[in-house]
Structure 1
Amino acid sequence: MKRSLLAGATLSSIAVAVPCAAQSSVTLYGVIDVGINYTSNAQTGRANGALKGASQFSMQDGGSGGISGSRWGMRVKEDLGGGYGAIATLENGFNIQSGTLGQGGAEFGRQAFVGLTTPYGTATAGRQYDSVVDFVQPYSTVAMWGGYPASQPGDIDNQGNTRRVNNSVKFRSKDYGGFSFGGLYSPGGVAGSTGRNQVYSLGVGFSRGPLSIGAAYLNARDPNYSFFGTNPSSGTAATSNNMGSFGSATAAQSNPIFGGYSSAQTYQVIATGASYKFGASSVALNYNNVQFKHLEAGDGPNTLRYGGTGKFDTVEASYTLQATPSLLGGAVYEYVRSSGANDRVAAHYNQVGVGADYLLSKRTDLYAIGVYQRASGTDSYGQSAVAAINGQTPSASNHQFALRLSLRHRF
């Protein structure tokens, strides 16, 4: 039985439909993903001005260290007749190892929206994924088999579903002979300043035969608040750094790849992806350009007094093999180049990953992911770049290896 192991909202789950009334239904569903993670070097703090680190074993939910964030949710559908319908989704994320809420403590932090289906497409409103996730993420390793550890360093372009967009309206067209399109808009809600804190994105996709292609654009104004600060635990954008922190003598740093750019006035992503299937194999390419614009003009902290634009170019190439109906494997290479920020920040990140997934049943599988990353240059904190595998504590050195063994169950 061929199938794709998709992370986030695209992951197929076994659901139970409960009839509510004629032509209406409520579907309950969920995923639990728990595993043991090994990290070769994780920061423990500083000593004599230098970063210190040590190897680490930990139990982690799939939302930070694996393929699928644990969740439960419900989908509501009602047929309104004439090709129209009403829909709603509430999806809660939680941490299986502790039982606490995910997404910074939001009750329905993964998704929460209501909308209408029409003969032309679907319109929804609420907390939702942007167009990069909808149209380009399917061609990223995070959606195929690699999960968060194998995704692009720092989840720089949000293809790992790290962030959602609050207060958003969204449209996704129906499929027109393999072609589809869509967009999302979140008004800033600031009186007298229409563009402040607004987020918008656009995407297009085409799929026919073995070839599939997607492209998307995302723009977030005042991103420290509007995009990176949308969870309950994010704090106030003007006084906190929602993208990362410098840490302390006793605490690890957070997201050194782009955490120093919290002062950006605009966050912009241009992303493209494509895949081609042949037999039991498929290859995929993914490219994106990410820019943190006007570093001197945003609301967030600017401790390093940056100006100009911090830029990132990322290329990902992956291979996937459905070896048997129950066994899937893959390999990926990713390269990230950063530049900009007063012309004194430039870093390079090379990352390779391998993974395998084995189905024990239609609902339960075992999987393993291994990732190695090496960094060079100067990162967004103005320090010698350290490796920082997505979802793991950054390294105290320029290299890091992470391994995950996990059990996942869908219901």
Structure 2
Amino acid sequence: MRRKLSILFATGSAMTMPVLAHASVTLYGLLDNTIRYTTNENAAGNSKVQMGDGVLTGSRWGMHGTEDLGSNTKALFVIESGFAPDTGVSQQGGRLFGRKAYVGLQGEFGTVTLGRQFTVIHEVIASYDAMALASLGIVGFQGGPYTGGVRQDNMIKYTRAFGGLTFAAQHAFGETAGSFAKSSSTGASLSYAAGPFLAAGGYQSMRDTNTYYGVKVPTSNQNVWSLGSTYNTGPATLYLGYTNSNVDAADYRNHAVYSGVKYVFMPAWSLIAMGTFDRLKHGSTTGNRFTGALMLDYVFSKRTDVYVEADYTTLSGAWRTLGGQTDFATPMFGHGSRFGATAGLRHKF
């Protein structure tokens, strides 16, 4: 349950009487802890049992608030901190508010926000991914480095809905003296919802990146575009998507196709099944990656649920080489496959 605080802010000056404005601030959070078993966790092929963050969602706490400015206009802010539930340490490189930190205005003109935020390409892909780009990296690998970053600093974002049509655009400043474009990122997305059907797509260009999945690469521009859709048939929702990622000077090109289904077969029970096939080309080499995942969830209440999950990944060719890197997001230590099984408990407040 989210805790709401009503706060009166007094403003004024020596020349005027104080003016009171009403604002609403909400404290919220989520803890999602798991026990996970995986194979091929070192060069010898040994398995590992560990505790970690959630499959679908990362643990976090935060605050968001709004202030009514009149004329159908509101000021808003969000600050959100990610942390590892097994150790309590901060995520996102140890940042205090590494998940989100932005302020904005919302009105009939749309919503404008400034600060550290999710990229528009990440948000649009998540809308037609059955696991919404899972927090578990090996399952949600087509997010993150694949798209040039889940979140970006120094971002201005604009969103506006026109009936069933929603448009979003962003620019993250590179903040480099002498060049407006250097190290910056620009993107846009468009989605259309009508009844049970959603269709969406987006594009993003991230300039002057020098890593790909944690591997050092020549300084490159990374361009990503994606299309996808969902269809709800009552208890089942079907998902289908395609994403193309091109890291030009580093010569990495990926084509990923992913599909899935979420089926609510009883009020408290739901099942998610998904699969992603990725074709990688790097120089003269090519390789394939397939990841499939299955998750069964039981909801105790609006705040608490438990789940079990299983996933399998197989790599070949250039993907196996990339997966063998020691700083790869989910290192495979030269092995061509990995099986994982997870049990988790999630609680929201």
* TM-score between the two structures when normalised by the length of structure 2: 0.90
Q: Does 1:363 align with 2:303?
A: yes
Structural mapping, 1:53-72, within 5 Å: 53-62=45-54, 66-72=55-61
Q: 1: CA distance between counterparts of 2:308 and 2:209?
A: 34
- Report the identity percentage: 28
Aligned-residue offset at 1:38:
0.6
Task: Choose the corresponding residue for 2:204, options 214, 218, 226.
Answer: 218
Q: 2: CA distance between counterparts of 1:346 and 1:70?
A: 36
In structure 1, the partner of 2:288 is: 348
Structure 1's 170 and 109: CA in aligned 2 closer, same or farther, altered over 3 A?
same
In structure 2, the partner of 1:30 is: 29
In structure 1, the partner of 2:11 is: none
Task: Choose the corresponding residue for 2:165, options 163, 166, 179.
Answer: 179
Task: Choose the corresponding residue for 1:275, options 214, 230, 233.
Answer: 230
Q: 2: CA distance between counterparts of 1:83 and 1:395?
A: 56
Q: 2: CA distance between counterparts of 1:410 and 1:109?
A: 19
Structural mapping, 1:7-406, within 5 Å: 14-21=1-8, 22-43=21-42, 51-62=43-54, 66-143=55-132, 148-152=137-141, 155-158=144-147, 163-173=150-160, 175-224=161-210, 243-244=213-214, 259=215, 262-295=217-250, 309-341=251-283, 343=284, 345-379=285-319, 383=321, 392-406=330-344
Q: 2: CA distance between counterparts of 1:392 and 1:337?
A: 18
Aligned-residue offset at 1:223:
1.9
Q: Is the 8 A contact 2:38 2:339 kept in 1?
A: yes
Structure 1's 387 and 151: CA in aligned 2 closer, same or farther, altered over 3 A?
farther
Q: Is the 8 A contact 2:113 2:157 kept in 1?
A: yes
String of CA shifts for 1:210-251, please: whole Å, max 9, x gaps: 100111111111123xxxxxxxxxxxxxxxx5742xxxxxxx
String of CA shifts for 1:359-384, please: whole Å, max 9, x gaps: 0111000011111011111238xx38
Q: 1: CA distance between counterparts of 2:187 and 2:309?
A: 31
Q: 2: CA distance between counterparts of 1:125 and 1:80?
A: 18
What SS does the corresponding residue of 2:96 show, helix, strand or coil? coil
Q: 2: CA distance between counterparts of 1:56 and 1:33?
A: 20
* Greater relative contact order structure (CA < 8 Å, 6+ sep): 1
Q: 1: CA distance between counterparts of 2:333 and 2:58?
A: 23
Q: 1: CA distance between counterparts of 2:95 and 2:155?
A: 16
Aligned-residue offset at 1:183:
0.6
Structure 1's 95 and 107: CA in aligned 2 closer, same or farther, altered over 3 A?
same
Aligned-residue offset at 1:98:
0.7
String of CA shifts for 1:119-174, please: whole Å, max 9, x gaps: 12100100011111222211113328885443245755349xx631101111011x
- Unmatched 5+ stretches in structure 2: 9-20
Q: 2: CA distance between counterparts of 1:201 and 1:56?
A: 39
- Unmatched 5+ stretches in structure 1: 1-13, 44-50, 225-240, 245-258, 296-308
RMSD across aligned C-alpha pairs, in angstroms? 2.3
Q: Is the 8 A contact 1:41 1:396 kept in 2?
A: no
